A and B are shown apart, each in its own frame.
Chain A
């Protein structure tokens, strides 16, 4: 296994790949994606967000695009920590990203068994609108240019084209 940077001060190793599906790195040729591996808690999950948002601001994205990327990344990290890794402190979340002035590509992978996105109820339907949870995927799809998942459902790929 390849050692990875762990941003909360500990060394970690990449978890084994859960799928053979291509990640954003392979279907979006360009510079390699940067990688940050964090422990599975919401405080540690802020670290990749802060790193990515610094690059987004420096790359000249507008306020609306920056809000969209931040919101989608928060939702992806929350899903990974809470639902994918089930709040297990021994698990990790792997974030890979590349920010250019043209577009931002982010992948978030957890160590869970994945899920089937199509089975998540549409929380904008009248019968679901009062559900207190389940809006994360819908928000990612509403705010990002492209959202996809690997085959096993434990990795989300987020792409935002700079609109400004």
Chain B
């Protein structure tokens, strides 16, 4: 079996390493700049991710919408209402919560418990509890139950469509902000990497010319450039991941302590996803720079 492919890969790898080693200072500077840019982006991404999770938690409870049933509603009317609710698009489950069950839940709720104790009888209405795929479904639900004789006309549901829309919009806006920040950070990173590569090509113009003249294929001439941006991307991402760890361990708990209403929570389960995402995204953004940079003819 011919060993030339292995030998060739070895030669190319050694050449790529030598290419990089000779200009380690510019490589290091680029990696640090990229690391700083990615650190800022990753930190914002972490805070947005945690905020989004916190908001999603609130939305999850908000998504458990209740349609309140009047005490006068008959069993047939309740069954008809349940059938109507089940047929609303976006409603995944409908369950009935009786007055007794509602009172029992209220007794466990620290905010509602005093009200339950102070009232005579059971002030908590029976309801249909709806699980919705999206808070935006609330508007359809409210439209469906409007005028239904078994639904409390004063307070038909646990929250309004406007509230649901606000929550949904806030969630969407946070996602957009995170995506825009990522794109900007990767764009800046790509520009920095491109500057490095152009500097490398300028510094090694004669070397590249020699390789071109002796017939080294252009894709092969590009290999050291690809290796270089890959290593910069990995090093820069590594710095960003370290920053992320520091922010998660020290900054996020400090924010939670000083601003408890934010409830950012434990960031540990976000680290893996954000670290892999940062490395993958920076590699994906930087490698095309190595393929696009112009080589001497």
A binds B: no
